Amino acid sequence: MLNGKFGIIFGVANKRSIAWATALALHEAGARLAFTYQGDRLKENVEGLTNEAMPGSLLLPCDVTKQDEVDATFRRVGEEFGRLDFLIHSIAYAPREALGGEYLDTSRDAFVTALEISAYSLVQLSRAAMPLMIEGGSIVCMSYYGAEKVVAGYNVMGVAKSALEASTRYLANDLGPRNIRVNAISAGPIQTLSARGVSDFSTMLKHHAERAALRRNVEAREVGATAVFLCSPMSSGITGEVIHVDCGYSIMGM
Ligand code: 0WD
């Protein structure tokens, strides 16, 4: 479905990352991939994963708070691929102390950091990718229900996800004339490295599995499969959308 397509994936930290499950699905669909990693701390992980599953992938250091690394990343992708067809944004961060207790206590620093890394980066990366998406493209980011409703402990990250989802719509409008589509996947809770930062995550998993329409939790590979759909021509009429891949949790009332 994606044979001959070139994509870049931001946010692989380890084998549990949603970005990694997404990469496997995109690779299986035939795409050639570039990966970024946030600093040397994650380099070995990404190298180990890609060497085994998809040798020859392009690996680039990119911390989104460092504009020179973002510039260098897209320069290298341009040199190597000549163009870009899709971008996966699977990045989020908030200081741990802000993910628990009352939202009311969120510090200015935590707020700015969370919004910069988790939401502004979508704008920043979309702008950098645009010149390489010469035949149109697809940009996909990862959100969560805490953007729409109060989820205890999710706090400033919920506010960042609201900004991410709104950015998805505004970017879809800006990039639509270039046939670049921008969509968000609102994933149900999945046990990953980031998830461990959310207080009482195991309670969240249990609650979700009991209440979701499908009475189970979503798997990362299901998020990956939706990303393949959003990067493929099968979704050519969909942009600015937030697609829930949450086993139907968000449709439930009482
Ligand atoms: O339940 C979950 N796990 C859900 C996650 C449910 C719904 C949505 N999501 C979202 C997350 O909010 C995030 O946007 O999916 C995305 C991926 O999250 P993940 O797969 O759960 O988490 P993880 O494997 O930790 O990957 C996120 C990565 C970072 O990992 P760590 O844990 O080391 O912070 O985001 C990257 C980093 O690799 N990241 C950055 N990348 C570049 N520059 C930066 C940065 N400054 N900060 C974090």
| pLDDT computed for residue 197 by the predictor | 75
| pLDDT grade for 134, boundaries at 50, 70 and 90 | very high
Q: How many domains does the chain have?
A: 1
| pLDDT computed for residue 200 by the predictor | 82
d(CA 251, CA 254): 10
Identify the helix (H) or strand (E) that includes residue 77: helix 67-81
Concatenated DSSP letters of 18-47: HHHHHHHHHHHTT-EEEEEESSHHHHHHHH
| pLDDT computed for residue 23 by the predictor | 98
d(CA 105, CA 97): 10
What are 27-74's pLDDT values in tens digits?
Answer: 999 999 999 999 998 999 999 999 999 998 999 999 999 999 999 999
**CA of residue 59 to ligand 1 center, whole Å:** 17
* Averaged confidence pLDDT in the chain: 96
What are 86-112's pLDDT values in tens digits?
Answer: 999 999 999 999 998 999 999 999 999
In a domain, 95, yes or no: yes
Best residue for ligand 1 mutational test, from 41, 60, 89, 91 (most atoms within 8 Å of Cβ): 91
Q: What is the mean pLDDT of residues 144-149?
A: 98
Please, are residues 118 and 157 in contact by the beta-carbon 8 Å criterion? yes
Residue 93 Cβ inside 6 Å of ligand 1? The answer reads yes
Q: What is the mean pLDDT of residues 116-140?
A: 98
Within 82-154, where are the H helices? Answer: 108-115, 121-129
Q: What percent of the chain has pLDDT over 70?
A: 100
Residue 142 Cβ inside 6 Å of ligand 1? The answer reads yes
Q: What is the mean pLDDT of residues 172-198?
A: 94
In a domain, 218, yes or no: yes
| pLDDT computed for residue 196 by the predictor | 81
Cα–Cα nearest to 49, from 77, 23, 86, 81 = 23
d(CA 105, CA 98): 8
In a domain, 114, yes or no: yes
Q: Which two tokens stand for residue 192?
A: 């990953």
Backbone angles phi, psi at 220, to 5 degrees: -60, -35
| pLDDT grade for 198, boundaries at 50, 70 and 90 | confident
Residue 197 Cβ inside 6 Å of ligand 1? The answer reads no
Q: Which domain holds residue 135?
A: 6-249
Residue 88 Cβ inside 6 Å of ligand 1? The answer reads no
In a domain, 54, yes or no: yes
Give SS3 for 86. Answer: strand
| pLDDT computed for residue 34 by the predictor | 98
Which CATH number goes with the domain that contains 191?
Answer: 3.40.50.720
> Nearest C-alpha to atom 39 of ligand 1 is from which residue?
91
In a domain, 224, yes or no: yes
Please, are residues 48 and 59 in contact by the beta-carbon 8 Å criterion? no
Which residues are catalytic, by number? 144, 154
| pLDDT grade for 148, boundaries at 50, 70 and 90 | very high
d(CA 89, CA 11): 7
In a domain, 254, yes or no: no
| pLDDT grade for 139, boundaries at 50, 70 and 90 | very high
In a domain, 17, yes or no: yes
Query: Which atom from ligand 1 is nearest to the alpha carbon of 195?
Result: 3
Q: Is the four-CA dihedral 138, 144, 148, 153 of positive or negative sign?
A: negative
In a domain, 1, yes or no: no
* Bridge partners, 138 (sequence order): 86, 181
> Is the pLDDT reported for residue 211 higher than 90?
yes
Residue 224 Cβ inside 6 Å of ligand 1? The answer reads no
